[in-house]
Amino acid sequence: MTRYQLSEQKNDGQTIYVLKDAEYPAEAYLVPEIGNNLFRFTVKGEEVLIYPEQVAMIKEASARYGIPILFPPNKVRKGTFSFQGKQYQLGLNKGEHHSHGELRVRPWKVVAKGATADRGAFVMSEFDFNDHPDLLHAFQSRLVFRFTYSLFEGELTLTGEVTNHGSETAPFTLGFHPYFTVSPENQQQTTMKVASQSEWTVNREGFVEGEPLATPLCERLTNGLAYTEMPSDKDHAFVTLQAGTTSCEIQDHTKKRTIVYHFGDHFPYMIVFKPEWNSSLSLEPYTAVTDAFNLPLPADITGARGLDLQKPFHFMHKISVVEE
């Protein structure tokens, strides 16, 4: 049997790509037609991500399963902001605000796929603003996203490239919202490690207020915070990571298993989110804080930045499971 395999199956009318490492073993399930969501990942029969009972549920709640792609991440107040003297207006999809962007739910196009001994199983998908006139109009630049998921030696890797094909620098923030499984019976024996420098105050609407501060929670996240000890008065913490931090961990001390999430050096902010609707933990790396372009703070604090012409943004993420 060939170690690396790529197959297709239909589910709820959607084409699902199944990436398989038969030797490790590991499997990953990708639905490009609904936000290019890598919605299921198993390693040695253990679920790594929270996945839906039906694929159609991703379309109904696209920010609650698998690994949603966020552009822009989190909320934009009233959907509007200014950048380099220009005003931008995004669609209002969360009450009077814009939330998490449209890439997480709209169809992506598969442009390459395969399975080889030296590369593993892989699928490359593309999202081009030229195919979405409303987004082209809203962002006033033609952005092209080209993401490749691959499964090799039991590890799931995402490599990405975002290119600005417009006529001027475009506002740019990017994030991801992976939901990692926490075994219900092992919640007290599960800890998270996120090397945190400072914490942002977040109001009831989810917007940050003021500058970030070093807090006791930062120290606890850095040293290892138990899943059950997340402060009861909040379901998430928004932190600026310590300089040089490129990964975080979730440790199940009962199973003696650690999920390691590598996100590279382009994502210096993270939301640590404990959802109330399932037993999971979402570790969300962002290139910028929520509503960065509307904050009265310097860009080196908020991460607000532009994407220059023909100077692509490159990144690589990797999820691996380590056993003691």
What would the pLDDT profile of 127-136 be if each residue is shown by its tens digit?
999 999 999 9
pLDDT at position 15 over 80? yes
pLDDT at position 323 over 80? yes
User: What's the rounded mean pLDDT across residues 275-299?
Assistant: 97
User: What's the rounded mean pLDDT across residues 290-308?
Assistant: 97
Contacts of 158 (CB under 8 A, 6+ apart): 38, 67, 147, 148, 149, 316, 317, 318
Residue 266's nearest CA partner among 187, 186, 184, 173 is: 173
C-alpha span between 110 and 123 (Å, rounded): 7
Token output for 305 = 């930045």
**pLDDT tier at 75, thresholds 50, 70, 90:** very high
In the block, tokens 């952005």 appear at: 143
C-alpha span between 116 and 111 (Å, rounded): 17
Round the average pLDDT of the chain to a whole number and report it.
97
pLDDT digit string (tens) for 17-43?
999 999 999 999 999 999 999 999 999
Q: Determine the pLDDT at residue 234.
A: 82
pLDDT digit string (tens) for 220-234?
999 999 999 998 888
Q: Determine the pLDDT at residue 93.
A: 92
Instruction: Give the sign of the dihedral formed by CA 11, CA 13, CA 14, CA 15.
Output: positive
**pLDDT tier at 141, thresholds 50, 70, 90:** very high
Contacts of 131 (CB under 8 A, 6+ apart): 109
Other beta carbons within 10 angstroms of residue 323's beta carbon come to 10
Instruction: Report the percentage of the chain scoring pLDDT > 70.
Output: 100
pLDDT at position 286 over 90? yes
Q: Determine the pLDDT at residue 88.
A: 98
Q: Determine the pLDDT at residue 324.
A: 87
User: What's the rounded mean pLDDT across residues 35-58?
Assistant: 97
C-alpha span between 171 and 23 (Å, rounded): 43
Helix (H) or strand (E) run with residue 135 in it: helix 133-139
Instruction: Specify the 3-state DSSP secondary structure of 11.
Output: strand
pLDDT at position 315 over 80? yes
Looking at residue 152, its amino acid is F
**pLDDT tier at 218, thresholds 50, 70, 90:** very high
C-alpha span between 41 and 277 (Å, rounded): 20
pLDDT at position 1 over 80? no
Q: Determine the pLDDT at residue 137.
A: 97
Q: Determine the pLDDT at residue 119.
A: 97
CATH at 109? 2.70.98.10
CA 273 to chain centroid, in Å, comes to: 12
pLDDT at position 109 over 80? yes
Token output for 10 = 């239909």
Characterise 134 by phi-psi region: left (phi > 0), alpha (psi -120 to 50), beta (else).
alpha
CA 14 to chain centroid, in Å, comes to: 22
Residue 174's nearest CA partner among 41, 94, 269 is: 269
C-alpha span between 270 and 236 (Å, rounded): 10
C-alpha span between 217 and 97 (Å, rounded): 29
Instruction: Report the percentage of the chain scoring pLDDT > 90.
Output: 96
**pLDDT tier at 235, thresholds 50, 70, 90:** confident
CA 180 to chain centroid, in Å, comes to: 11
Looking at residue 128, its amino acid is D
**pLDDT tier at 138, thresholds 50, 70, 90:** very high
Q: Determine the pLDDT at residue 63.
A: 92
What domain range is 56 assigned to? 4-323
The answer to whether residues 237 and 221 touch, using CB atoms and an 8 Å cutoff, is yes
The answer to whether residues 274 and 227 touch, using CB atoms and an 8 Å cutoff, is yes
User: What's the rounded mean pLDDT across residues 210-225?
Assistant: 97
**pLDDT tier at 112, thresholds 50, 70, 90:** very high
Q: For the chain, what is the domain count?
A: 1
